[in-house]
């Protein structure tokens, strides 16, 4: 049996059963992960309980990047194969990715205040995260910026490709800039080796984020497909009406 994921009918049939499963898996993983990370994992000897922000911050950062990877892949598929489903998946990925990036930036600045003494530090990682956020905003702006939906999705997909070329360059240039300027290196940029008592809840939270991301993607694309179907139904109804009246 061939599973054609880019066919709207197949997608609608599969997502109907997949969404409840995804929601249950997400709730269970998030419950266990949050309980483990908030109550069972130890405090850091330097940071105290503020280290627990990490369990939300780090998975959000990982999945904001993963969502952009999905977005640019879907953009390429949309432009090459002219598959409308790919553009819907890309847009859904952009919405979730924007939310993850915002969560990452907000939790990061809340974590930064007690640790570094400032909500914002001009560091390579923070700066490139903020730029990733602007790429997402640009993509969604293009997607909603035209009256012609099909044209809008094509333009947004082109931007998704441009971002895929440019994000590595931007990231690399910002790193060049920060190594040039960073006089006060009060934080260790290399990831400290993490103890398993912290790693297990972190990976659990990452799994919860992954399942949340997947489920949200299915829900958003399903909503769009049903909306399109509904609109087509209305159009044919109107046409039939006119035909009968004539």
Partner 1 sequence: MKLSFCAHLHQELSLSWRNKSSVLLQCTFLVLASFLFPLGLSDLSTLETLAVPILYVLALMAFSNSFPQIFQKDFEDGTLTQLYLHPVSIHRIALIKALALWISHGLILVAIAPFLAMLLKIPMDLLPLIILSLSLSLLAAALIGTLAASLTLGSKNKFFLTSVLVFPLFVPLIIFGTHAPLSETWSPFLMLLGLFLLYLPISIWLSGFALREALTQ
Pick from 49, 80, 150, 238: which binds partner 1 (CB under 8 A)?
Answer: 150
Give the integer Cα–Cα distance in Å for 206 and 142. Answer: 30
Q: How far is the CB of 148 from partner 1 (least distance, A)?
A: 6
Q: Are residues 78 and 159 in contact, defined by beta-carbon separation less than 8 angstroms?
A: no
Q: How far is the CB of 230 from partner 1 (least distance, A)?
A: 24
If one asks whether residue 145 binds partner 1 (CB under 8 A), the answer comes out as yes
Q: Which of residues 163-202 bind partner 1 (CB under 8 A)?
A: 165-166, 169-170, 173-174, 176-177, 180
Of 58 and 167, the one with the shorter C-beta distance to partner 1 is 167
If one asks whether residue 229 binds partner 1 (CB under 8 A), the answer comes out as no
Pick from 30, 65, 83, 158: which binds partner 1 (CB under 8 A)?
Answer: 158
Q: Are residues 215 and 22 in contact, defined by beta-carbon separation less than 8 angstroms?
A: yes
Intra-chain end-to-end CA distance of the chain, in Å:
46
Stretch that binds partner 1, among 9-17, 40-48, 51-59, 152-160 (CB under 8 A): 152-160
Nearest of 27, 58, 29 to residue 199 by alpha carbon: 58
* Beta-bridge partner residues of 219: none
If one asks whether residue 148 binds partner 1 (CB under 8 A), the answer comes out as yes
Tokens found for residue 114: 């007690």
If one asks whether residue 151 binds partner 1 (CB under 8 A), the answer comes out as yes
Of 166 and 228, the one with the shorter C-beta distance to partner 1 is 166
Q: Which stretches of the chain bind partner 1, using CB under 8 A?
A: 79, 131, 134-135, 137-138, 141-142, 145-148, 150-151, 154-155, 158-159, 161-162, 165-166, 169-170, 173-174, 176-177, 180
């Amino acid at each position: 049996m061939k599973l054609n994921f880019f066919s709207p009918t197949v997608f609608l049939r599969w997502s109907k059963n997949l969404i409840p499963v995804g929601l249950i898996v997400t709730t269970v993983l998030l419950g266990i992960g949050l309980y483990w990370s908030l109550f069972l994992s130890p405090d850091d000897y330097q940071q105290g309980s503020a280290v627990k922000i990490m369990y939300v911050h780090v998975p959000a950062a990982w999945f904001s990047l993963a969502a952009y990877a999905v977005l640019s892949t879907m953009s390429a598929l949309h432009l090459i194969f002219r598959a409308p489903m790919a553009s819907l998946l890309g847009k859904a990925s952009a919405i979730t990715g924007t939310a993850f990036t915002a969560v990452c930036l907000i939790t990061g600045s809340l974590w930064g205040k007690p640790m570094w003494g400032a909500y914002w530090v001009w560091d390579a990682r923070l700066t490139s995260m903020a730029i990733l956020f602007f790429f997402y905003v640009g993509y969604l702006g293009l997607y909603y910026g035209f009256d012609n939906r099909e044209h809008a999705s094509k333009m947004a997909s082109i931007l998704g490709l441009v971002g895929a070329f440019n994000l590595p360059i931007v990231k690399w240039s910002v790193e060049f800039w920060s190594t040039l300027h960073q006089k006060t290196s009060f934080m260790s940029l290399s990831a400290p080796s993490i103890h398993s008592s912290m790693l297990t809840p972190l990976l659990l939270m990452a799994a919860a984020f992954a399942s949340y991301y997947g489920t949200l993607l299915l829900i958003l694309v399903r909503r769009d497909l049903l909306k399109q179907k509904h609109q087509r139904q209305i159009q044919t109804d109107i046409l039939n009406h006119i035909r009968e009246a004539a």
